[in-house]
Amino acid sequence: MREKILHAIAKNSKISAKDLAMMLGSTEEEIKKEIQAMEDEHIICGYPTLINWDFDEKERVTAIIEVKVTPQRGRGFDKIAERIYRFDEVSAVYLVSGGFDLAIIVEGRSMREIAGFVSDKLAPLEAVLSTSTNFILKKYKENGMPLVGEVRDDERELITP
Amino acid sequence: MRDPLNSKVRAIKPSGIRKFFDIVKEIDGAISLGVGEPDFDTPWHIREEGIYALERGKTFYTSNAGLLELREEIAKYLERRQGLSYDFKNEILVTIGGSEAIDAALRAMLDAGDEVLIPEPCYVSYVPCVTLADGVPVTIDLKEENSFKLTREELLGAITDKTKILIMPFPNNPTGGIMTREDLEAIADVIIEKDLFVISDEIYSELTYGRDHVSIASLPGMKERTIVINGFSKSYAMTGWRLGYACGPEAILKQMTKIHQFAIMCAPTTSQCAAIEALRNGDEDVLRMREAYDERRRYLVTRLNEMGFHTFEPEGAFYVFPSIKHTGMTSDEFATALLKEEKVAVVPGTAFGDCGEGFLRISYAYSIENLKTALDRIERFMKNHEYSAS
């Protein structure tokens, strides 16, 4: 049941417990109890909204920064990862395999702001060996949802056998 | 001038679906729960394979029966999913949707005057196709109290000396009824004893909820007297690709292929290439869509019952078939009033046979959000008319 609830609210977190109960063949109380339990256990970590921020002329900048770091004895990459993810500007941090160690996503109001974050805060960290900043030019898809393209109407005939 | 028309064709009644479609078209901003096709796009990897086929210049006819590679995949699929084993070289014909396969099977098997048993309510094309093939359609009224299954008694009661074919439309459009293995076993020996043939339209075979579909051809002694019809429209959301197939005894398939060869030549090549990809790598898509339909099915049945409809719990396809007998209205009256007052279009049960009177077909090939909006309106309609639970 938990997995079914999660799959359903991953697509639409606004869905009511009553509707979920009908869809999954459960009761409203049972669904509410499970969701509460999963929030307590930090399985459900939040309910953010997917927004296409390109709706106006205001500049907003996102960058993917590749970071090479020195892991710390006993703590591996966790310590340095934490020092980085605690910055409010950082929206995501991933430890990755390949040519660098941490992939981080930083959001800011301008390129200058992000450049400032990298030069003043990120690069000076002792464990950081190098950074490579990739500014995002256009977002096509996020969280499994396409952000571009027009909204399509139902193109089917109204009544078919 | 002479009458340019064929009297048989002219005598065929226009479908109830068509009639209702014309009414719905006139209503501005109507929400429809009236479609008989998936709301999902064809999964991208399948579409991509179609595009790739065009890029490679796969723009020629295929062999009449369809690409050998596709037929081989169909055979593997039927073996994997339903335990059916067909020789892909001689026992499978790729057609323009399941519809062409139904037509070709009837034309290949019927002589003038042969009777064809058609359980109703059912898909709209069996009766006219039988008539066009010079057969005589004999309908069997399925009952809600039997979960819209075909019973042994009903079958026995309809068989005459002239009966040649039984059409088996399960999982059923419009009722959502299915036939389990036990249900099929109860009629199989009648079919064998009376020496009948079966055209089993299994287009909704992937859309069953709670248990797997059983093909009647998988029962002992049935494969040699059954044409299994299936296709890609419902299971892979590929309606517009127009691709289906028929499987059965070589002797019948050979004649069906002859009809197909002269009338059609071959199914569209692009669609055939895409279908190979669907069968090879589409199992997960089928599962994902089935789960979505199942959620909607439960949502719809629960809400309709809450509103006072008596709703048979469908186990297959993507329709519910609630009874409206307690309202005192006919199917036509109800559907028309609902459309005029709340702008919600559902199909009157009578579009699927006279015994569909007193029922509506509501499709759940719509997102939960759409269903919710439409159901809120139906609820308001029921309240305004003060229809209480039956």
| Rounded Cα distance, B365 and B371, in Å | 9
pLDDT digits (tens, 9 = 90+) for B193-204: 999 999 999 999
A157 Cα to chain B: minimum distance (Å): 7
Count of CB pairs separated by less than 8 Å, A with B: 55
| pLDDT tops 90 at residue B61 | yes
Picking from A144-153, B45-54, B285-294, which range would have the lowest pLDDT averaged per residue?
A144-153
Mean pLDDT of B333-354: 96
Mean pLDDT of A106-112: 94
Q: The dihedral of CA B165, B133, B235, A23: what is its sign?
A: negative
The H or E element containing residue B139 is strand B136-141
| Rounded Cα distance, B78 and B111, in Å | 30
A6 interface with B at CB cutoff 8 Å: no
Residue of B nearest to A5 (CA): B295
Mean pLDDT of B348-360: 97
Q: Which of B296, B302, B345 sits opposite A158 (nearest CB)?
A: B345
CB A69: neighbour CB atoms within 10 A?
22
A161 Cα to chain B: minimum distance (Å): 5
DSSP strand pairing (B322-323 vs B310-311): antiparallel
Q: Average model confidence (pLDDT) for chain A?
A: 93
The answer as to whether A113 is a domain residue is yes
Residue A127: predicted pLDDT: 94
Q: Which of B21, B125, B295 sits opposite A159 (nearest CB)?
A: B21
Residue A54: predicted pLDDT: 80
The answer as to whether A161 is a domain residue is no
| Rounded Cα distance, B154 and B151, in Å | 5
Kindly state whether residues A58 and A137 are assigned to the same domain: yes
Kindly state whether residues A67 and A116 are assigned to the same domain: yes
Residue of A nearest to B21 (CA): A159
Inter-residue contact A62 to A107 (CB < 8 Å): yes
Inter-residue contact B296 to B363 (CB < 8 Å): no
| Rounded Cα distance, B314 and B322, in Å | 10
Kindly state whether residues A10 and A66 are assigned to the same domain: no
Q: For residue A154, give every residue at least 6 positions away whose Cβ sits within 8 Å of its Cβ, in sequence order, or none.
A: B32, B39
Task: Read off the tokens for A43.
Answer: 């399985």
Mean pLDDT of B4-33: 90
| Rounded Cα distance, B257 and B178, in Å | 29
Residue B17: predicted pLDDT: 87
A159 interface with B at CB cutoff 8 Å: yes
| pLDDT tops 70 at residue B388 | no
* Range of the structural domain that residue A137 is part of: 53-142
| pLDDT tops 70 at residue A23 | yes
What 3 state SS string does B279-295 have? Answer: HHHCHHHHHHHHHHHHH
Kindly state whether residues A36 and A63 are assigned to the same domain: no
CB within 8 Å of chain B, chain A residues 17-76: 19, 22-25
pLDDT digits (tens, 9 = 90+) for B361-372: 999 999 999 999
Task: Read off the tokens for B22.
Answer: 């014309």
The answer as to whether A157 is a domain residue is no
Q: Which of B37, B173, B295 sits opposite A156 (nearest CB)?
A: B37
Task: Read off the tokens for B280.
Answer: 């090879």
A10 interface with B at CB cutoff 8 Å: no
DSSP strand pairing (B344-345 vs B347-348): unpaired
Task: Read off the tokens for B96.
Answer: 């323009």
The answer as to whether A29 is a domain residue is yes
What is the ipTM for the molecules in this complex? 0.86
Q: Report the b/e string of B240-260 with b at 16+ CB within 10 A.
A: ebbbbbbbbbeebbeebbebb
Q: How confident is the model at residue B389 (pLDDT cuts 50, 70, 90)?
A: low
Distances in whole angstroms, Cα of residue B275 to Cα of each of A21, A48, B56, B91, B376: 36, 38, 16, 18, 38
pLDDT digits (tens, 9 = 90+) for B110-137: 999 999 999 999 999 999 999 999 999 9
Kindly state whether residues A83 and A127 are assigned to the same domain: yes
Picking from B11-20, B74-83, B177-186, which range would have the lowest pLDDT averaged per residue?
B11-20
Residue with tokens 């099929």: B184
Kindly state whether residues A35 and A84 are assigned to the same domain: no
CATH number (domain holding residue A99): 3.30.70.920
Residue B16: predicted pLDDT: 82
Percent of all residues in chain A with a pLDDT value above 90, rounded to a whole number: 75
Kindly state whether residues A66 and A32 are assigned to the same domain: no
| pLDDT tops 90 at residue B321 | yes
The answer as to whether A92 is a domain residue is yes
| pLDDT tops 50 at residue B390 | no
CA angle B229, B36, B174 (to 5 degrees): 75
Kindly state whether residues A81 and A126 are assigned to the same domain: yes
Kindly state whether residues A77 and A129 are assigned to the same domain: yes
Kindly state whether residues A83 and A106 are assigned to the same domain: yes
A43 Cα to chain B: minimum distance (Å): 22
A148 Cα to chain B: minimum distance (Å): 17
Kindly state whether residues A58 and A86 are assigned to the same domain: yes
Task: Read off the tokens for B326.
Answer: 């307690």
pLDDT digits (tens, 9 = 90+) for B251-294: 999 999 999 999 999 999 999 999 999 999 999 999 999 999 99
Q: Which domains does chain B have, with CATH numbers?
A: 7-41+284-383 (3.90.1150.10), 44-281 (3.40.640.10)
The H or E element containing residue A141 is strand A141-142
Task: Read off the tokens for B57.
Answer: 């210049």
Residue A145: predicted pLDDT: 85
Kindly state whether residues A79 and A132 are assigned to the same domain: yes
The answer as to whether A18 is a domain residue is yes
Number of structural domains found in chain A:
2
Q: How confident is the model at residue A52 (pLDDT cuts 50, 70, 90)?
A: confident
Residue A59: predicted pLDDT: 85
| pLDDT tops 60 at residue B83 | yes
CA angle B288, B291, B294 (to 5 degrees): 150
| pLDDT tops 90 at residue A148 | no
Task: Read off the tokens for B2.
Answer: 């002479």
Q: Which residues in chain A are contacts of B33 at CB distance < 8 A? A: none
The H or E element containing residue B82 is helix B68-82
Q: Would you call B36 and A160 a contact, using CB atoms and an 8 Å cutoff? A: yes
The answer as to whether A58 is a domain residue is yes
Q: How confident is the model at residue B248 (pLDDT cuts 50, 70, 90)?
A: very high
